[in-house]
């Protein structure tokens, strides 16, 4: 708005009402910077959205927020500066003096000399009401507006810091960041949960032939196979991007579009190498987020998920080593449980959410690595443990309290004959010639993992529903905006 000619004209109108000596250009400050200024900083200009308006006989109080911090800046003004459009939700530009505040709540406040309403807000139809604490389920209905609520504002700042912390972790530890493709011709996980893509013309004609790319293409379910190619030249690589799964699940931990952090390491010696990176990544990123945005994190731990006593537990967890158990041990623990499960635990069956929850509880509500899963349960790329009748692969899942599976990884089958025979049995030899090539030309033991970024945020913040930790959630029967 301010970039437009009308916007500038309005601004000039507003400032021209000031006495000449006050028309010196004001420094533009973000609310966070203004709040951090311990002393009076002279003439400043703050832009943002009104979070509260309180008009008294002698004084007008405003709280202005610009997304730079959870706290809003208190503006104190002469009641003559009030106007009809100055309401909750309106966009404003306030010019004045930043002075030491006589109130205990804030070190500084802005003494307004001019208030310009840049964009009025129709408060009657605005779905959020002043001073009301709206439940997350309510604000979820308004994905285009919910970033203006305290909880989503805090979440989005945390998400941004967590993204940066994850990138820093990998860069600091010598990993090369790879942009793996979003459009792909393979199904990495082999689970058939793919969104197929085509042009709108192809959809109209519903033709099978003449694909845009000549072959059927899909939105990626994982960047792993492309990372593996890169791990043939770089010993440590990572990717962090959107992934897509056509899982028909309405659960509180599944999305159709989510972000995955994936790493691949060459010259591995055992699963231990992979677990070490998973644990180190988790602890480093979490400590960074807690120290970079303490107030935002506190909002979740105090008000959004206080019942889970999440914070104390997480701080303890950051100090301790994660537990490691084998799949065989996990099944024994489940078989001996006094609890009855909907899905009876049996060797060879996948661990269900109820099993994962029980295992985490059994181990003391701490993160648990479960390793060496049955061969038949896992995708073709996992390394064969060659271990007798209870045949397993070198797989690892990290289970965490309240969520279940947070990360999935494995050693990869780097031995050409093993991989060839597995792909042949699955009828995938032709499709994966390029993948077999990786085993022909300088193959090395390697492995990696993927961590669901939204599940990570859910866990560290105690958020019940995954739809509340991503700006625009996509799930079956819903794609708003």
Residues that bind ligand 4AD (CB under 6 A): 188-189, 222, 224, 245, 247, 254-255, 258, 260, 262, 405-409, 448-450, 452, 454-455
Buried residues in 299-315 as b, exposed as e (16+ CB within 10 A): bbbeebbeebebbeebe
- Residue 176 β-bridge partners: 237
Minimum Å gap between C-beta 191 and ligand 4AD is 8
Minimum Å gap between C-beta 136 and ligand 4AD is 17
> CA 193 to CA 265: how far, in whole Å?
26
Minimum Å gap between C-beta 456 and Mg ion is 14
Return the one option of ligand 4AD, Mg ion, none that residue 255 interacts with (CB less than 5 to 8 A, by type).
ligand 4AD
**CB-based burial label for 71 (10 Å; 0-12, 13-18, 19+):** middle
Minimum Å gap between C-beta 290 and ligand 4AD is 21
Beta-strand relationship, 176-177 and 236-244: parallel
CB 289 within 8 A of CB 165: yes
Return the one option of Mg ion, ligand 4AD, none that residue 96 interacts with (CB less than 5 to 8 A, by type).
none
Minimum Å gap between C-beta 27 and ligand 4AD is 43
Return the one option of ligand 4AD, Mg ion, none that residue 202 interacts with (CB less than 5 to 8 A, by type).
none
CB 253 within 8 A of CB 475: no
Q: Rounded to a whole number, what is the largest CA-CA distance in the chain?
A: 89
Minimum Å gap between C-beta 439 and Mg ion is 23
Among the residue ranges 28-36, 115-123, 143-151, 406-414, the one whose residues contact Mg ion (CB under 5 A): 406-414
Of 16 and 250, the one with the shorter C-beta distance to ligand 4AD is 250
Return the one option of Mg ion, ligand 4AD, none that residue 262 interacts with (CB less than 5 to 8 A, by type).
ligand 4AD
**DSSP symbols for 181-250:** -SEES--TT-S----EE--HHHHHHT-SS--TTSS-EEE-S-SHHHHHHHTTT-SEEEEEEEEE------
> CA 432 to CA 203: how far, in whole Å?
27
Return the one option of Mg ion, ligand 4AD, none that residue 165 interacts with (CB less than 5 to 8 A, by type).
none
Structure tokens at 264: 């691949």
Of 88 and 369, the one with the shorter C-beta distance to ligand 4AD is 369
Return the one option of Mg ion, ligand 4AD, none that residue 448 interacts with (CB less than 5 to 8 A, by type).
ligand 4AD
> CA 460 to CA 445: how far, in whole Å?
33
**DSSP symbols for 139-158:** HTT-TTTGGGSHHHHHHHHH
Beta-strand relationship, 108-119 and 91-100: antiparallel
Of 121 and 158, the one with the shorter C-beta distance to ligand 4AD is 158
For helices 271-292 and 453-461, angle between their N-to-C axes, nearest 10 degrees: 60
Return the one option of Mg ion, ligand 4AD, none that residue 72 interacts with (CB less than 5 to 8 A, by type).
none
CB 478 within 8 A of CB 462: no
Of 236 and 254, the one with the shorter C-beta distance to ligand 4AD is 254
Among the residue ranges 23-31, 294-302, 357-365, 402-410, the one whose residues contact Mg ion (CB under 5 A): 402-410
Residue among 96, 379, 402, 408 that touches Mg ion (CB under 5 A): 408
Task: Taking the CA atoms of 247, 136, 73 and 296 in sequence, report the sign of the dihedral they define.
Answer: negative
Minimum Å gap between C-beta 157 and Mg ion is 29
Where in 83-102 is the site for Mg ion (CB under 5 A)?
Answer: none
Return the one option of ligand 4AD, Mg ion, none that residue 189 interacts with (CB less than 5 to 8 A, by type).
ligand 4AD
Return the one option of ligand 4AD, Mg ion, none that residue 222 interacts with (CB less than 5 to 8 A, by type).
ligand 4AD
Of 146 and 245, the one with the shorter C-beta distance to ligand 4AD is 245
Binding track over 358-397 against Mg ion, x by CB under 5 A: ----------------------------------------
Minimum Å gap between C-beta 454 and ligand 4AD is 6
Minimum Å gap between C-beta 228 and ligand 4AD is 9
> CA 168 to CA 241: how far, in whole Å?
15
- Residue 177 β-bridge partners: 238
> CA 217 to CA 287: how far, in whole Å?
39
Minimum Å gap between C-beta 104 and Mg ion is 50
Of 48 and 232, the one with the shorter C-beta distance to ligand 4AD is 232
Minimum Å gap between C-beta 101 and ligand 4AD is 44
Of 34 and 463, the one with the shorter C-beta distance to ligand 4AD is 463
How much of the chain is helix, strand and coil, in % rounded to 5? 35, 25, 40
| Sites of contact with Mg ion (CB under 5 A) | 408
């Amino acid at each position: 708005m301010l970039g437009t000619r009308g916007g500038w004209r309005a601004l000039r109108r507003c400032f021209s009402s000031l006495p000449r000596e006050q028309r010196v250009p004001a420094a533009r400050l973000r609310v966070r910077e203004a709040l951090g200024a311990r002393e009076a900083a002279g003439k400043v200009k703050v832009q943002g959205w009104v979070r509260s308006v309180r008009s008294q006989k002698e004084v007008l109080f405003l709280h202005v927020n610009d997304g730079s911090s959870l706290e809003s800046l208190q503006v104190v003004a002469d009641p003559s500066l009030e106007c009809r459009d100055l309401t909750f939700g309106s966009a404003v530009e306030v010019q004045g003096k930043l002075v030491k505040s006589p109130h205990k709540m804030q070190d500084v406040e802005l003494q307004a000399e001019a208030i310009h309403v840049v964009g009025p807000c129709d408060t009657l139809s605005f779905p959020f009401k002043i001073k009301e604490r709206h439940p997350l389920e309510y604000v979820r209905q308004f994905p285009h507006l919910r970033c203006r609520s305290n909880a989503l504002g805090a979440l989005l700042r945390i998400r941004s810091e967590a993204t940066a912390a994850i990138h820093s972790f990998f860069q600091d530890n010598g990993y090369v960041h790879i942009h793996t493709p979003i459009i792909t011709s393979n199904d990495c996980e082999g689970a058939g949960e793919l969104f197929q893509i085509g042009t709108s013309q192809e959809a109209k004609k519903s033709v099978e032939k003449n694909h845009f790319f000549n072959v059927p293409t899909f939105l990626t379910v994982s960047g792993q196979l492309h990372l593996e190619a890169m791990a043939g030249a770089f010993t440590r690589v990572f990717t962090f991007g959107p992934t897509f799964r056509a899982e028909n699940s309405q659960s509180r931990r599944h999305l159709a579009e989510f972000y995955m952090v994936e790493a691949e390491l060459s010259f591995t010696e055992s699963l231990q190498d992979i677990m070490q990176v998973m644990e180190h990544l988790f602890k480093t990123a979490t400590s960074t987020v807690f120290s970079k945005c303490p107030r935002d994190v506190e909002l979740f731990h105090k008000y959004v998920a206080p019942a889970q006593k999440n914070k104390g537990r997480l701080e303890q967890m950051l100090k301790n080593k994660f537990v490691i158990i084998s799949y065989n041990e996990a099944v024994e623990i489940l078989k001996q449980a006094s609890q009855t499960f909907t899905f009876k635990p049996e060797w060879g069956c996948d661990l269900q959410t109820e099993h994962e929850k029980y295992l985490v509880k059994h181990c003391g509500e701490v993160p648990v690595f479960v390793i060496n899963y049955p061969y038949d349960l896992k995708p073709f790329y996992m390394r064969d443990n060659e271990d007798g009748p209870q045949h397993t692969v070198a797989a690892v899942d990290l289970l965490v309290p309240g969520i279940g599976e947070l990360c999935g990884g494995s050693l990869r089958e780097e031995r050409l004959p093993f991989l060839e025979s597995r792909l042949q049995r699955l009828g995938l030899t032709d499709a994966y010639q390029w993948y077999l090539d990786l085993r022909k030309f300088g193959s090395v033991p390697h492995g990696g993992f993927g961590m669901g970024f939204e599940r990570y945020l859910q866990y560290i913040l105690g958020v019940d529903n995954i739809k509340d930790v991503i700006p625009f959630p996509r799930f079956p029967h819903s794609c708003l905006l």
